[in-house]
Amino acid sequence: MPRQFQAIFYSESQLEELEENEMQFPYSDKYATYIGKDHQYEPTQALFNERGIDIKKELESSNSGIDVKRFLAYVRFKFYIYVYSHNKSTRPVMNYIIAKRGIRAYTSMYEYRNNILDAMVYLGEYLLDNGDLSKISGVDLDSMTALPIEQLRNEDRDYPARFRDIMSPLGLNYYGSYKIIPNGLGKEW
């Protein structure tokens, strides 16, 4: 069995001391864990706490039966599904861009990573407030008409506007195909 990629963990003091060119991307910290098996970032409870959102309390009050760990994994899942469904690039290429490269509009990979985490917070906050609208069919409140689930999904109504707004400058809803060859594609990074 091939060895899984293990991202380095940086403490807050290490992040303060290191220059960006000394940092190894992708990395884990108290705000996000890099899942090497899937090559994806997963937000942590500390990220939401930092923004004033108590996930545990919100989930308990909703009687959803979902624990914090499953909720955070689901936020990661929804985030990456959005990325994959809004690109013609392959999943490994998109994972590589998010983890190691960013896009040229961002000169700072550290800033790029933080904006990804912001998008995940917006998505998580929306899911806590509204539930996952992609799992239900409902009513369009603007026109007061029935809304089929296919329309709900195709129009991205199950994603908050703030989330969609931040995804565009990140280059993660590009309908073209990125022409990069990730270093080590097919191997572990």
Q: Provide block-wise average pLDDT over 10 residues at a time, the chain (189 residues).
A: 78 91 91 91 95 90 81 93 84 84 75 92 90 64 66 68 85 69 51
**CB environment 82-97: b (16+ within 10 A), e (fewer):** bbeebbebeeebbbbb
Residue ranges of the alpha helices (H) in 55-135? 55-62, 68-85, 91-96, 109-130
Q: Where are the domains of the chain?
A: 45-170
Full-model pTM: 0.83
According to the model, what pLDDT value does residue 65 have? Answer: 72
Assess contact for 5 and 39: CB atoms under 8 A: yes
- Closest by CA to 130, choosing from 73, 80, 58, is 58
